[in-house]
Every structure is written in structure tokens, then in C-alpha cells.
Amino acid sequence: MSGTSSLAAGQLLFQRDLRLAWRRWDQVTDPLVFFLMVTTLFPLSLSPELSRLRDVAPGVLWVAALLSSLLAADSLLKSDAQDGTLEQYVLSGQPLTLLLLAKTAAHWILSGLPLVLISPLVASALGVPGHALGVVMMSLVLGTLTLSLIGAIGAALTIGLRRGSLLLALLVLPLAMPLLIFGARAVELAIIGEAAAGPLYLLTAMLVLSMTLAPLTAAAAVRISID
């Protein structure tokens, strides 16, 4: 038997998580439904007029995406921590950072990507004009990826704690505020027809920073939490 390379181990984990989700796909739709419900709250509480909704659309879309991501973040490590699989990752001798990156990638496909795909529909329902939908999707791709990465840190710190999901939200929300500022601003610029490149670049920069630092931090947090 030959030893498994780190990359192959990451791939194995990635595929396993996707296969597990396939067998319980109703769990995958929960964050998506939450996203839809939260966005629906705003027309109900503000006004059915699209022209008024358009003004708040950037904020509504982004707040709803943020809250759905927070809800989903809890599930990244919960089941692995409960059935002892998480310890086996640590004992496998493979770099924990890479394994967590693989898990986060799978998790994003299951929780972040659906949001991105449905966002044009939801944005239009909030009065966002067609020409801005591309920026909506782009900003949400960047934002939800970063949120998945930051959420992994929160999930790793709160493993096994009672009310862990609420605590996770409290810890991650302040860190997510810059994302909200730039993401909503990008959509706002796109709606009024101006170039949204500036905020999008900043979102990309935050994503790159998270991609390099978050899995590392989450790995350290996992080792601390399974003590």
C-alpha cells in the first residue's frame, strides 16, 4: 500500500462530503430556504413597490446572504466532531489545513453556491435592474466564499459548545462587517449604472487573505477544541 499524498487526501475528503450531502440533500436546501425567507421579510415589512425595494436591495441581499452563511457555518464541523471523525483527521498525519480547506470548499458548494445561483432571481424580485445582476452574482461569489472561510474559524472555535451556533454567529459577525460594506456597495454602484470594480477588488483581496489565513487558523482552533 502506498501512502496517500496530501492532495489526494483532500480530494478524498472533498468527495466524501459531497457524497454525504447527496444522500441527505434536504439538509442542503435549508440555508437556501432561509435566504429566500429573509429576503421576503423586507417587502413585507417595507413596501411592495419595486422602486422602493431597489433602494434597499443591496443591503437586503447581503444581509440575507450573511445570515444564511452563518446558519450554515455551524454544520461544517458539527457532525465530524460528534462521531469522532474529526479526531481521525488530526491523527491521519495529513496537513489539517489542507483537509479543512477541502471541507470548506465542499461546504461552500453546498451552501454558498446555491445562494449565488438563485441571487439573480431574488435580486430581480427586489427591483434590481437586469444589468446589475452580474455584479450581484460576482459580489456574492466572493462574499460567500470568504464567509465560508471565516465561518470555518468560528465553527472550529465553538465545537461541542452548548449554544455553539449562536456563539458562532456572535464571533463571526464583526469579522464579516467589512464584507458587507463592500459587497453592498458593489451592488449599489451596479444598480445606478456605475463601475463596481473598486469594491469588487477589495472583496477579492479579502477573499485572498481569508484563503491564506483562515484554514490555518481553523486548523489551530480544531486542535485546541478537541483537547
Partner 1 sequence: MLRGVSFAIGAGEALHVAGPNGVGKTSLLRVVCGLLQVEEGEVHWNGRSSSDPGVTFLESLAYLAHDTALKGDLTAAENLHFSVGLKHSVSAQQIAAILADLGVADCADLPCRVLSAGQRRRVALCRVLLSEARLWVLDEPFTNLDASSTAHVSETLSRHLAQGGLALIAAHQGLSLHSGNVTRLELS
Partner 2 sequence: MWTWFHKLSSPPHFYRVAGKMVPWFAWPAALLIVAALVGGLVLAPRDYQQGDAYRIMYVHAPSAWMSLMVYVVMAVSAAIGLIWRIKLAHAVAAGCAPIGATFTFAALATGALWGQPMWGTWWVWDARLTSELILLFLYLGYIALRSAIDDPQRADRASAVLAIVGVINVPIIHYSVVWWNTLHQAPSVTKMGAPTISLPMLIPLLMMLLGFTLYFVAVLLTRVRGEVLRRERNAGWIREGLAQ
Please give the residue ranges that form the binding site for partner 1 (CB under 8 A).
1-4, 9, 12-13, 16, 19-20, 23-24, 79, 82-85, 87-94, 226-227
**Smallest gap, in angstroms, from Cβ of residue 10 to partner 2?**
23
Burial of residue 182 (CB within 10 Å: 0-12, 13-18, 19+) is: buried
217: partner contacted, choices partner 1, partner 2, none (Cβ within 5-8 A by kind): partner 2
Task: Report which secondary-structure segment, H or E, holds 44.
Answer: helix 25-45
Q: In terms of Cα–Cα distance, which of 128, 80, 84, 118 is closest to 102?
A: 80
Residue 11 touches partner 2, criterion: CB under 8 A: no
Other CB atoms within a 10 A radius of the CB of residue 88 amount to 10
Q: Applying CB under 8 A, which of residues 21, 63, 113, 167 lies at the interface with partner 2? A: 167
Sequence-separated (6 or more) residues with CB below 8 Å from residue 59: 184
182: partner contacted, choices partner 2, partner 1, none (Cβ within 5-8 A by kind): partner 2
Residue 174 touches partner 2, criterion: CB under 8 A: yes
Contact between 97 and 222 under an 8 Å Cβ cutoff? The reply is no
Q: In terms of CB distance, is 41 or 170 closer to partner 2?
A: 170
Residue 185 touches partner 2, criterion: CB under 8 A: yes
23-31, 86-94, 102-110, 173-181 -> range binding partner 2 (CB under 8 A): 173-181
Q: Which residues of 95-126 are buried (b: 16+ CB within 10 A; e: fewer)?
A: bbbbbbbbbbbbbbbbbbbbbbebbbebbbeb
Q: In terms of Cα–Cα distance, which of 149, 144, 135 is closest to 201?
A: 135
DSSP code, position 4: P
Q: In terms of CB distance, is 27 or 225 closer to partner 2?
A: 225
1: partner contacted, choices partner 1, partner 2, none (Cβ within 5-8 A by kind): partner 1
Q: Binders of partner 2 among 187-216, rule CB under 8 A?
A: 206, 213
Helices 164-191, 50-73: axis angle to 10 degrees equals: 150
Q: Fill in the per-residue mask, 126 to 165: x = in contact with partner 2 (CB under 8 A), - = not in contact.
A: ---------------------------x---xx--xxxx-
Q: Applying CB under 8 A, which of residues 67, 133, 181, 211 lies at the interface with partner 2? A: 181
DSSP code, position 76: G
- Chain residues that interact with partner 2, rule: CB under 8 A: 153, 157-158, 161-164, 167, 170-171, 173-175, 177-178, 181-182, 185, 206, 213, 217, 220-221, 224-225, 227
